[in-house]
Amino acid sequence: MTEPILRLQDVHKAYGALKVTDHVNLDVRPGEIHAVIGPNGAGKTTLIGQISGALAVDGGTITFDGQDVTAKPMHLRARAGLSRSFQITEILPEFTARENVALALQARQGHSFRFIRNVARDRALNEGAERWLGELGLAHRADTPAGILSHGEKRALELAISLATEPKLLLLDEPMAGTGREETDRLVEVLTGLKGRYAMLLVEHDMGAVFALADRISVLVYGRIIATGTPEEIRESAEVREAYLGEEGAA
């Protein structure tokens, strides 16, 4: 079997007596969308923080792309291809959508920020940026300052910025938060288009989006993963229904 791109073994963290992540075992396979769902306060944000390196673990091991990254700082994990998107504003509002992506491409090539003024003239960067914008349905917004894009378009732009860094795993932290129905549908469509090409760990409250996108779902309740399985298995699990999904998930 192919090695997972991300593996968490026995990861745990407590704040005093509160076990926020409680001996979590989880893996993400190459090309898989693995969603983590759970009620408010279940520990999802903490888990994402531990994976990205923003938060230290109390114990356990995090292996990314074959390397033990448990003690590695966030920037080294990012450099190794672990990209966190959403709930972090990476967009520069004064710059156009194209410039925002071009800057991410430029950063990947190791140039420093002070060359910013050369970006507009660099055709290769602009073409690369346009390719990503096209991929995410934003080609017609290339010249628009990022700050005046709609909320859903900003989310798509954040995704373009993440993808421009050629990640091996995308950590998607509530990408649908604050988006309307139409924009959520659009983002689901965009992510569906990327399916199979990138491994993604998706934390999301919108169950419609989760069940439409995920290959597997893990359910986190009080810091503990109570089930991992296909959307069908999760929907049919009596334990999950009782602990979390309730009638809504059964519908």
Q: Which residues bind ligand ATP (CB under 6 A)?
A: 15, 18, 20, 38, 40-46
Query: Whole-number minimum distance, CB 228 to ligand ATP, in Å?
Result: 16
Least distance in angstroms from the C-beta of 69 to ligand ATP: 20
Question: What CA–CA distance (Å, rounded) separates 91 from 149?
Answer: 11
Q: Cβ closer to ligand ATP: 20 or 119?
A: 20
The residue among 160, 188, 194 whose CA lies nearest residue 175 is 188
Q: How far is the CB of 8 from ligand ATP (least distance, A)?
A: 15
* Burial profile 80-114: b = 16 or more Cβ within 10 angstroms, e = fewer: bbbbbbbeeebbeeebbbbbbbbbbbbeeeebeee
Whose CB is nearest to ligand ATP? 45
Q: How far is the CB of 40 from ligand ATP (least distance, A)?
A: 4
CA torsion, ordered 131, 134, 140, 141, to nearest 10 deg: -70
Question: Residue 45 or 144: which CB sits closer to ligand ATP?
Answer: 45
Q: At what angle do helices 151-164 and 97-108 cross, to 10 degrees?
A: 20
Report the length, in residues, of the chain.
Answer: 251
Q: How far is the CB of 236 from ligand ATP (least distance, A)?
A: 23
**Gyration radius of the chain's alpha carbons:** 18
Closest to ligand ATP by CB, 41 or 208: 41
Q: Which residue has the tokens 């995704």?
A: 159
Residue with smaller CB distance to ligand ATP, 149 or 225: 225
Q: Which is nearer to ligand ATP, 13 or 154 (CB)?
A: 13
